[in-house]
Each structure stands twice: as C-alpha cells, then as structure tokens.
Amino acid sequence: MREKKWTYHRSHSFIEDGREVTAITQLYKVGVYMIVNNDPSLQFSLEPKDIVLIEKELLQKVKKGKISDLLFGREVIVTKVEGLLEELKT
C-alpha cells in the first residue's frame, strides 16, 4: 500500500554570505542522505518531508534577500511502500 508522496529536488545550490553552498541528496530505502559542500562534517540522514521543508526555507530566504542564485536540481517524487522509500517514475 502506498502512502503519502513527497516531491523534492536532488540538489540545491545558492550563494550565502558570498560563498557558494551546494547540497546533494541520495535516496535510500530507509531515508535520504544529504551532504553539503562535500564536507564529511556536514552529512545528514533525513526523511523526504525534511527536504521539502528545507526547500521551503530556502525559498523564504531568497524572498528575504538572505541568499541568492538558488538553483534546484532534478525533481524526484518519493513515496513509502510497506515502510520503505521508493522513487516514483515520472
């Protein structure tokens, strides 16, 4: 049985305080791995809903002028099937 669907992007990049920030995600059956600026100290294990919230926060920061040049990578749609995450084919 399929549960809720989440739509988010595989990567995010933007300029903050004059520095480029890049975040890359990788979907696994048990969660979403994220690494920022390829820095091992900035690795995270997240749920798809967390990525959706991060994207909303980034869009708010653009509106407030706190970050610029926001780019999103390829969009993915994810759902849970029997408790495991799966990317839906679009």
Select from 14, 79, 66, 80 the least CA-distant residue to 90.
Answer: 79
For the chain, the domain total comes to: 1
Put simply, whether the predicted model's pTM sits higher than 0.85 gets the answer yes
| Domain range for 37 | 2-88
- pLDDT (tens digit per residue) in 9-64: 999 999 999 999 999 999 999 999 999 999 999 999 999 999 999 999 999 999 99
Is residue 1 predicted with pLDDT exceeding 60?
A: no
Q: What is the pLDDT of residue 89?
A: 78
Cα end-to-end distance, the chain, whole Å: 19
Select from 18, 3, 26, 33 the least CA-distant residue to 69.
Answer: 18
Q: What is the pLDDT of residue 2?
A: 54
